[in-house]
Structure 1
Amino acid sequence: MARAPRERRLENRTARAELKPRKEPYWSKISPGCLIGYYRARTTPTGTWFAKFRPVGAAPGVTFKAEKLGAADDVLDANGLDILNWSQANAKARPWWERMKRLASGGGAEPLTVDQAIEAYLADLKARGGVVREAERTLTRHVDPKLRGRLVCDLTASELSAWKLALVREDDDPDEVRASRSTANRIVATLRAALNLGRHQRPIEIPTDAAWKVGLKAFPSVTGSRNVILSADEIRRLIDAAPDPYFHDLLFALASCGARYGELAGCRVQDAHLDASGGARLHIPGGKTGSRTIAISDELRIVCARLASGRAGTVPLFTRADGARWGRSDQTRPMKLAVKTAGLDPSVTIYSLRHSWIAAALLAGTEVRIVADHCGTSVQMIEATYSKFIGRHSGDLIRASGPVLTKAETNVTALPGQRAKRSKVG
């Protein structure tokens, strides 16, 4: 980054404090047609930085264009965002001057918008062989048109932070909030990659990444969930402790198939295919990772048949006691009551049933890919989340996995003059 020119009157707060307040800012010429100004009103101790531009060789009637840059570090220390020292004011003015020069000349590229940065990032990702569809879906779904229309060089940390915070779900369950923040981190990382590429391609126009480095900082300590894994006995106690039959059915279904709470809440009567060839199945119409159809046990088939009997196909399969669909936080209070009644650890949440199902399936020897497809997640996520748990049982799994190569112990003794027959291996 180019060094700001020396300007004794404006370089530090001590020198600026000696300047008398006036109607016109104190201007310093940086280059032909480009000026930095400092203005302080009589009623405030903090001044303001301005940039000014006038095309070189412009007709006498052409006036200067001015742009407010931010507050001066007269009282508070500079942060490079909204409180600027002399050097930072110069750095922030440079992309604006470049933009004004392009507009004045009638040529050159227009300033980069967030939408253009996203399109360029997706094109670059495709050229590198990356997973374009997932990135495109993430950015299209979560980056609203207002933000996409903003110029990258004009983005502020506060607006990006507000957008990031809006991605987080409000919920009474701390584990749901943690999971929501983890999802937000993945969304934020994708947008941050697009903005970084834009800055790399246009370093003069976008001289700093401070706005998204601060505003899009990842939420800490959200990658690992409270993976409380329950035994079969604990699961039965939890289900039996449900405060009403409707919540009992929901807990039983969650424990029986490993689906997410929101996925089963979205199932309708018509999604239960109980007479399907090859076994009963349940269609998940709108899961976190899209729709899918899963195989269900005979026990769950019986429950679903009872719930679907005599009801219209479009109504919810699992309902609350009042007949309404389960909402996002409707499970929180009955779950806490059931956990307390069952005498389980207070850290147990409704998501623990999904964790427990996945862990049981893995310990039973089910292939990781099959578990991932059934649960609507990735093999990488399964391995990252459950590797420590499986590691604790690796000894038993290894000992039970190999072939038996030796004869079993016997108390039979060979007769004299006869040799015991050797058993063939294989």
Structure 2
Amino acid sequence: MVAAQHTILGGKVHLYQRERSNRWQCSTYLNGKNHRVSTKEESLARAKDFAEDWFLKLRGLSARGELTTGKTFSFAAKKFLEEYASILSDERHPRWIRDHKSRIELHLNPFFGRMAVKDVTAGKVQEYRAARLQADKPPSRSTLHTEIVTLRQIMKTALRHEWIDHLPDFSAPYKTSGKVVHRGWFSEKEYRQLYEATRKNAKSHKNGKHRHFAEQLHDKVLFMANTGIRPDEASCLEYRDVEIVEDDATGETILEIEVRGKRGVGYCKSTTGAVRPFERMVERNQPEPTDRLFPVDHKKQFNRILEELGLKFDREGNRRTLYSLRHSYISFRLLEGADIYQIAKNCRTSVEMIEKHYAVHLKNSLDAAAINVRRQRPAAKSR
């Protein structure tokens, strides 16, 4: 029930007090919708001043087309983060949640935040792409793609809550397929150069923490190149996740690894080359079962060695990183004739990804006998 009420600005704004409250509320009808807010004032004079300022601000937003009706994009983004974090906390690495949050705060909210979610159309999505690509430091194709993925997830949240009745088209016009990028990797010769350099680097330090870090890097290079695990998976590995076993199928001593990464928990069987580096780390560190194998990322040290060897970039200009050791593992296995489906399972990826980014540049994976087939021509008839 309304206890008292007044109108100002020619009846465009209504001020009223509810029963059991001494504070004034104000309301107006604009753009086909009622807008209400509390003035938080008990004095009628101050409440009128507040209401007048509030109405003029609303009218200015309306004139610029910025007055939202319905849930805003920033509200939907906040709801998405809450749901994503609570539902997938056990299935996704915390870094994925942080990455979504960063993309929202740095790029999506500044552009879409004040819009109503129903106003985020295919045209607005394309305007966002154009704005990002015209920035002083435009993002890479893959970075822009991840931002659109986050945007799509937010809009799906809005659809589930019935704040919109359909999803806009998120596809990029004019450029439907991009260049297939071959992942940077080390050839067998380059890989040998690399691990010989990391071994030499470890021996160059007489003692102390620098020698310890150098020895850890050397063993990390060998470990990753013989297991194919991702750098983020390596950083999560604990000693209890790794077991030295005798493989029944090959009779070789290998590592069985329980991997925790971006796709949850998976499993990996190493080559024999990973066993000795792991044994050295156990001898060196005398770890507890819950200690991490690689508590330091070694990026700076690794990049320095690559630059000294002239291996930071491959011949196509692809930048090599610790991730390139995973790509090298996959390439080495393909060159040895391993089954591509088993490689995909062991690396927790898909056959399609391997065929697209790895197998295409391995000349030994092509069977010349199957390619150079000649159809037998019928013998010419004698006349």
**TM-score in terms of structure 2 length:** 0.53
Gap change, CA 1:388 and 1:269, over 3 Å in 2: same
- In the alignment, the residues of structure 2 paired with residue 294 and residue 256 of structure 1 have an alpha-carbon distance, to the nearest angstrom, of 11
- Flag structure 2 segments of 5+ consecutive residues without an equivalent: 1-7, 13-27, 37-50, 106-112, 129-139, 203-214, 314-318, 374-383
Give 2:288's match in structure 1, choosing from 305, 312, 315: 312
Is 1:68 the equivalent of 2:58?
yes
Give 1:153's match in structure 2, choosing from 113, 116, 126: 116
- SS at structure 2 position matched to 1:257: coil
Matching residue of 1:46: none
Matching residue of 1:388: 360
Question: Once the 2 structures are TM-superposed, how far is the Cα of residue 294 of structure 1 from its aligned partner?
Answer: 1.3
Gap change, CA 1:221 and 1:234, over 3 Å in 2: farther
Matching residue of 1:252: 222
Question: Once the 2 structures are TM-superposed, how far is the Cα of residue 395 of structure 1 from its aligned partner?
Answer: 4.3
Is 1:190 the equivalent of 2:157?
no
- SS at structure 2 position matched to 1:335: helix
Task: Spell out the pairing of 1:92-103 with structure 2 (5 A cutoff).
Answer: 96=69
Matching residue of 1:335: 302
Is 1:237 the equivalent of 2:193?
yes
Is 1:53 the equivalent of 2:27?
no
Gap change, CA 1:197 and 1:277, over 3 Å in 2: same
Task: Spell out the pairing of 1:201-220 with structure 2 (5 A cutoff).
Answer: 202=165
- SS at structure 2 position matched to 1:311: coil
Please say if residues 182 and 358 of structure 2, whose CA atoms lie closer than 8 Å, have aligned partners that are also in contact.
Answer: no
- In the alignment, the residues of structure 1 paired with residue 60 and residue 225 of structure 2 have an alpha-carbon distance, to the nearest angstrom, of 56
Please say if residues 185 and 328 of structure 2, whose CA atoms lie closer than 8 Å, have aligned partners that are also in contact.
Answer: yes
Matching residue of 1:350: 322
Task: Spell out the pairing of 1:100-115 with structure 2 (5 A cutoff).
Answer: 114=76
Please say if residues 114 and 152 of structure 1, whose CA atoms lie closer than 8 Å, have aligned partners that are also in contact.
Answer: no
Matching residue of 1:362: 334
Larger Rg: 1 or 2? 1
- In the alignment, the residues of structure 2 paired with residue 397 and residue 229 of structure 1 have an alpha-carbon distance, to the nearest angstrom, of 27
Gap change, CA 1:370 and 1:280, over 3 Å in 2: same
- In the alignment, the residues of structure 1 paired with residue 93 and residue 301 of structure 2 have an alpha-carbon distance, to the nearest angstrom, of 33
Gap change, CA 1:115 and 1:254, over 3 Å in 2: closer
Q: Deviations over 1:51-109 (max 9, x none)?
A: 76399xxxxxxx99968265477xxxxxxxxxx3xxxx4xx76x84xx7xxxxxxxxxx
- SS at structure 1 position matched to 2:338: coil
Gap change, CA 1:26 and 1:154, over 3 Å in 2: farther
- In the alignment, the residues of structure 1 paired with residue 186 and residue 277 of structure 2 have an alpha-carbon distance, to the nearest angstrom, of 22
- In the alignment, the residues of structure 2 paired with residue 69 and residue 294 of structure 1 have an alpha-carbon distance, to the nearest angstrom, of 62
Gap change, CA 1:385 and 1:200, over 3 Å in 2: farther
**TM-score in terms of structure 1 length:** 0.48
Q: Deviations over 1:275-324 (max 9, x none)?
A: 35534324244222122221122221122122113432222224xxxxxx
Give 2:254's match in structure 1, choosing from 262, 276, 280: 280
Gap change, CA 1:316 and 1:202, over 3 Å in 2: closer
Matched to 2:271, the amino acid is S
- In the alignment, the residues of structure 1 paired with residue 330 and residue 234 of structure 2 have an alpha-carbon distance, to the nearest angstrom, of 16
Matching residue of 1:412: none
Please say if residues 179 and 225 of structure 1, whose CA atoms lie closer than 8 Å, have aligned partners that are also in contact.
Answer: no
Q: Name the structure where helix makes up a greater proportion of residues.
A: 2
Question: Once the 2 structures are TM-superposed, how far is the Cα of residue 251 of structure 1 from its aligned partner?
Answer: 0.9
Question: Once the 2 structures are TM-superposed, how far is the Cα of residue 374 of structure 1 from its aligned partner?
Answer: 1.1
Cα RMSD after superposing both structures: 5.4
Please say if residues 230 and 323 of structure 2, whose CA atoms lie closer than 8 Å, have aligned partners that are also in contact.
Answer: yes
Gap change, CA 1:241 and 1:189, over 3 Å in 2: farther
Matched to 2:218, the amino acid is H
Question: Once the 2 structures are TM-superposed, how far is the Cα of residue 191 of structure 1 from its aligned partner?
Answer: 3.1
- In the alignment, the residues of structure 2 paired with residue 375 and residue 270 of structure 1 have an alpha-carbon distance, to the nearest angstrom, of 20
Q: Deviations over 1:27-60 (max 9, x none)?
A: 7xxxxx9545xxxxxxxxxxxxxx76399xxxxx
Identity, % of aligned positions: 18
- Flag structure 1 segments of 5+ consecutive residues without an equivalent: 1-22, 28-32, 37-50, 56-62, 74-83, 100-109, 123-131, 165-176, 319-324, 403-426
Please say if residues 239 and 248 of structure 1, whose CA atoms lie closer than 8 Å, have aligned partners that are also in contact.
Answer: yes
- SS at structure 2 position matched to 1:366: coil
- SS at structure 1 position matched to 2:311: coil
Please say if residues 287 and 376 of structure 1, whose CA atoms lie closer than 8 Å, have aligned partners that are also in contact.
Answer: no
Matching residue of 2:265: 291
Gap change, CA 1:229 and 1:396, over 3 Å in 2: farther
Matched to 1:341, the amino acid is E
- In the alignment, the residues of structure 1 paired with residue 364 and residue 162 of structure 2 have an alpha-carbon distance, to the nearest angstrom, of 46
Matched to 1:384, the amino acid is K
Matched to 1:303, the amino acid is P
Please say if residues 266 and 284 of structure 1, whose CA atoms lie closer than 8 Å, have aligned partners that are also in contact.
Answer: no
Matching residue of 2:134: none
Please say if residues 228 and 329 of structure 2, whose CA atoms lie closer than 8 Å, have aligned partners that are also in contact.
Answer: yes
Gap change, CA 1:230 and 1:196, over 3 Å in 2: same
Gap change, CA 1:185 and 1:249, over 3 Å in 2: farther
- In the alignment, the residues of structure 2 paired with residue 306 and residue 300 of structure 1 have an alpha-carbon distance, to the nearest angstrom, of 10
- In the alignment, the residues of structure 1 paired with residue 221 and residue 270 of structure 2 have an alpha-carbon distance, to the nearest angstrom, of 14
Q: Deviations over 1:161-187 (max 9, x none)?
A: 9xx9xxxxxxxxxxxx98766555444
Matching residue of 2:275: 301
Gap change, CA 1:262 and 1:282, over 3 Å in 2: farther
Question: Once the 2 structures are TM-superposed, how far is the Cα of residue 137 of structure 1 from its aligned partner?
Answer: 6.4
- In the alignment, the residues of structure 1 paired with residue 277 and residue 92 of structure 2 have an alpha-carbon distance, to the nearest angstrom, of 36
- SS at structure 2 position matched to 1:365: coil
